[in-house]
Structure 1
């Protein structure tokens, strides 16, 4: 059984979206800053234009209304900027949670891989012991069925460790054909 270490399609899509989002975020921030600067310049220009046109006919009420309007726009501008910063902070929190989640998942996968390596090593040692006779006279007398059953158990343990979600092969579940043939041949002896 081959276990792929690469990301799953949905994870690839999520990673692509995150990369695109990450790359476009500075451009968006720069564009927003340019928009704010233009808006502020527009308001200053509007005030200068108003003052230039009204230089001779100075009307206090008109000027007062324009100043109130400018102050209101500046306040709204600051509120928008603060709301944007709060939104970015929340988004960063969400990414942080996502990173921690992936970190935990990666740790679990590493542990599972190590357990699979350990089980594979045990199976390899057991099979080498079966194939290497200790003493020629004594090796003939061993109960081969018990040793093969132990090999099957170790192989089943290895499959269980390397399967997604640690799915156990129990009596109700379908076993691989090679496993069934080996078990049948052991029991028939």
Structure 2
């Protein structure tokens, strides 16, 4: 008793199935590569989004510092107590203005490999302030 396998037993059909299989494997390989490419692009975009968020925070902090510095300098320039300008109080205000300006400059300058600076000590303050 002979069993007929139908059109699949035809040698042309076998060739067609082989071609379809080969084509599907090529398409699968291309889709896998496309997926890897999209994953890489997604990771780059996510990294850039994090960086932009950090930059936005730095700008916000810089703006806050610039407002503090502006107010400090305005207070310093409009201060009417001349005796205070002659003494230690004036030096302390200048030192604070200098500290605020340095902090603002650090925040707004490009990131460097330098560690954050320590706060000014009393000895540093005397070196920064001009002798009156």
TM-score (ref. length: structure 1): 0.53
Highest relative contact order (Cα 8 Å, sep 6+), 1 or 2?
Answer: 2
SS at structure 2 position matched to 1:187: coil
Tell whether 2:54 aligns with 1:108.
yes
Gaps of 5+ in 2: 1-8, 119-126
Alignment of structure 1 residues 1-189 onto 2, 5 Å: 64-133=10-79, 136=80, 139-142=81-84, 143-165=89-111, 167=114, 183=128, 186-189=129-132
SS at structure 2 position matched to 1:154: helix
Deviations 1:9-37 (A, max 9, x none): xxxxxxxxxxxxxxxxxxxxxxxxxxxxx
Report how many residues are paired: 111
Alpha-carbon separation, structure 1, partners of 2:90 and 2:60: 29
Task: Give, in angstroms, the shift of residue 169 of structure 1.
Answer: 7.7
Alpha-carbon separation, structure 1, partners of 2:10 and 2:73: 94
Q: 1:155 to 1:168 in 2, by over 3 A?
A: farther
Task: Give, in angstroms, the shift of residue 144 of structure 1.
Answer: 1.4
Alpha-carbon separation, structure 1, partners of 2:117 and 2:44: 35
Q: Let me know the Cα RMSD of the aligned residues.
A: 2.3
Task: Give, in angstroms, the shift of residue 66 of structure 1.
Answer: 3.0
Alpha-carbon separation, structure 2, partners of 1:156 and 1:92: 43
Instruction: Please tell me whether the aligned partners of residues 156 and 169 of structure 1 are also in contact (alpha carbons under 8 angstroms).
Output: no
Gaps of 5+ in 1: 1-62, 172-181
